[in-house]
Amino acid sequence: MAEKRLLYLTAQRLQAYSWKAGKLLAGGTFEMGDQGVTEFARYVGTSPKSLYYVVADVIEEDFFQENIPYVRGKDRRMLIGRKIAQRYRDTSLALALSLGTQEGARREDRILYSSFTNTQPFQAWLAALRTNEAKLVGFYSLALIAPLVAKRLKPAAARCIIVSLQNGGMRQSYVEHGKIRFSRLGRADPTDPHAAAESCAAESNRIVLYLINLNILPRESGPLDVVALAPAAHREAYQAAWGDNPRLKLNLIDLESACRTVGLKSAPPEMLGERLFLHVLAGAQPGEQYASDALRRFYHLWRARLALLSGGAAICAFSLLLSGVRLVDLHGITSETEKERQQETSVRGEYDRLQANFPKTPLPREVLKSAVGTASAILRQTVFPDRLFVEISQALAVVPQIELDKLDWEITSNPRARAAAGPAKPAAPAPAAAEPSAAPAQGEANRYYEVADITARINAVKASDYRGVGAVVEQFVQALRQRPGLEVIGTRTPLDTLSEKAVTGDVGEQERDEVPNFTVTVSRRIGA
């Protein structure tokens, strides 16, 4: 953590303090002038890593309130910038505080502008800081720190005047709802409690009248709290100076007690009220301050560096943490895997022990299983045609006019497809039959059929007697169909060819010698 250096700047001198863990340590006093600035520059150069907080306590601090149209973003920044430029000569030390919005005919922002009417005395000190590339956190005033002090001391009322006596003089700051509205530095002798008390009472009365005249403080708001930070020994002097004041209500807080309340452990003895303000500033670091970005550029650079390194370190730390969690998971998974591997070895051993009692096989087991499957498939479709031939012979015996010419027999798994491709016309299936269609249905792929194409001729019937031929063939087909398990799946007679070719003939007395023939296809399921 970088060291914090607080620079208390008055019209006469700059007093430097370092702050660490609630302790303020004197760093040096540098008088206004070239020699003081040179010594200050040397002081800054001794600790390039420190963070610097400048706290000005001068008379020239100015407060001015004005409403602006309710705009946001770039327009608001431009508008406020223009207002500041119109009012103050040096805009590098200026700020605009928002006091909230005001609803009326149109919505407006209440802005409190503040700067210094003369920034010339600061320039030498700021130049020394810049030359040494010091990290200026901000340029503050006691007035800007007063709301923080009020917040820490928790006064009863929302509006109060905080009065404190510093080496720079007596500072009176009017705080309303946690925001600074006005502040003034008056002269006071810190060594004379009575004079300081009288000055406090008189100046407080003047400020109240001023605030009422500017409509900052409502006229009928009742007595205003004045929080006076003074040593406990000065209590009587303050109460005596205060008298019976209907506008102001004195709330005297012991400075030592207040310092303890806010956590200040120690401070150089020559410090007066400023020690409380400097300690509160070092602990809180408020956003409202005067210095422009140009004056704070080395601080911004330091913050960017810090952000980069912190970001990288955070990513690295987070990733390492996540990796660590994963490695813990990995350890668990590896243990689990090893445990299961041991279980598997045990189970496999048991299986091998039981397997050793299996019967010996002539082939490896898987090959044996495949061989049995294949052999079964071969057996299912192996048959000799003797039974089918007997069935056909018995059907031929029923129709003696038929004389067999040729018989083509084969085994197939799809007899209808074969009949469709073969010489015989597919026959309408018998009513009771439920044979497969041309494409074998699902589940019928393992059914096999023996199929025979029977080609025969018909004696004692003339070729031109198509009706006679048809009747004989039909008689033969019926005889085949009566055989159990036999299916006629196709026929081809001379009548079937009538539509396929040119037909010539003589219907006179001369008859042709041609012998009519036909083809019938039958099938029988193997194993039926």
Partner 1 sequence: MMLERSELKRLRLPLVAALLLSGLGVAALVYSQNNLANAERLRNEGHARLVATRDRLTKVSEEEQEIRNNLVQFKQFEDRGMAGAEKRLEWIEALAAIRQKRRLFQVQYNLDPQRAVDYPGVAEDQKGGSAIFIANRVKLDLSLLHEEDLLNFLADLSASAGSFASLRSCSITRTERGGAAGGPLRPRLRANCVIDLITLKARDKT
Near partner 1 in 311-340, by CB under 8 A: 311-313, 315-320, 322-324, 326-327, 329-330, 333-334, 336-337, 340
From the CB of 520, what's the least distance to partner 1, in Å? 15
Q: How many CA atoms lie within 13 A of 161 on its CB side?
A: 31
Q: Pick from 23, 341, 398, 471 the residue near partner 1 by CB under 8 A.
A: 341
Give SS3 for 256: helix
Residue from the set 344, 474, 511, 514 that interacts with partner 1 by CB under 8 A:
344
Instruction: Pick the closer one to partner 1 by CB: 383 or 430.
Output: 383
Stretch that binds partner 1, among 191-199, 295-303, 505-513, 519-527 (CB under 8 A): 295-303
End-to-end CA distance of the chain: 98
Question: How do strand 51-56 and strand 4-9 relate by DSSP bridges?
Answer: parallel
Residue 374: phi, psi to the nearest 5? -65, -45
Per rule CB under 8 A, is residue 308 in the interface with partner 1? yes
Identity of the residue, 33 or 349, whose beta carbon is nearer to partner 1 in the bound complex: 349
Kindly state the smallest distance separating residue 52's Cβ from partner 1, in Å: 17
Minimum CB separation of residue 44 from partner 1 in Å reads 19
State how far the Cα of 113 lies from the Cα of 84, in Å rounded to an integer: 7
Q: Which amino acid is at 504?
A: T
Q: What is the smallest separation between the CB atom of 346 and partner 1, expressed in angstroms? A: 9
Phi-psi category of 231—alpha, beta or left, where left has phi over 0 and alpha has psi -120 to 50?
A: beta
Considering the complex, what minimum distance in angstroms separates the CB of residue 137 from partner 1?
A: 13
Q: Which is nearer to partner 1, 8 or 476 (CB)?
A: 476
Q: Contact between 437 and partner 1 (CB under 8 A)? A: no
Choose the stretch contacting partner 1; rule: CB under 8 A; options: 61-69, 156-164, 176-184, 290-298.
290-298
Cα four-point dihedral sign 455, 459, 465, 470: negative
Cβ proximity to partner 1, 29 vs 401, nearer residue: 401
- Residue closer to partner 1 by CB (options 47, 413) is 413
SS3 154: coil
Provide the minimum distance between the beta carbon of 20 and partner 1 in the complex, in angstroms, as a whole number. Answer: 25
Of the candidates 144, 179, 139, 175, which has an alpha carbon nearest to the alpha carbon of residue 159?
A: 175
- Distance from the Cα of residue 226 to its chain's centroid: 52
- Tell me the closest approach of the beta carbon of residue 310 to partner 1, in angstroms: 8
Using CB under 8 A, count the residues that bind partner 1. 81
Would you say the C-alpha torsion 260, 263, 269, 275 has a positive or negative sign? negative
Query: Which one of 45-53, 221-229, 349-357, 516-524 is the stretch in contact with partner 1 (CB under 8 A)?
Result: 349-357
Based on CB atoms, which residue is closest to partner 1, 38 or 382? 382
Other beta carbons less than 10 A from residue 528's beta carbon: 10
Using CB under 8 A as the binding rule, the residues of this chain from 140 to 199 that contact partner 1 are none
- The phi and psi torsions of 125 (rounded to 5 degrees) equal -65, -45
Say how many C-beta atoms besides its own lie within 10 A of residue 400's C-beta. Answer: 9
Which residue, 360 or 467, is less far from partner 1 as judged by CB? Answer: 360
Report the b/e string of 499-518 with b at 16+ CB within 10 A: eeeeeeeeeeeeeeeeebbb
The one segment of 24-32, 138-146, 277-285, 302-310 that binds partner 1 by CB under 8 A: 302-310
Applying CB under 8 A, the span of 3-11, 43-51, 109-117, 293-301 interacting with partner 1 comes to 293-301
Site for partner 1 in 353-412 (CB under 8 A): 354-355, 357-359, 361-365, 367-386, 389, 403-411
Q: Which of 121, 118, 80 is nearest to 97 (CA)?
A: 80
Q: Is 18 in the site for partner 1 (CB under 8 A)?
A: no
- The 3-state DSSP class for residue 526 equals coil
Give DSSP secondary structure letters for 45-111: HT-TT-EEEEEE--TTEEEEEEEEE---THHHHHHHHHHHHHH-S-TTBEEEEEEEEE-SSS-EEEE
Q: Which stretch binds partner 1 (CB under 8 A): 39-47, 57-65, 104-112, 310-318?
A: 310-318
CB of 369 to partner 1, least distance (A): 6
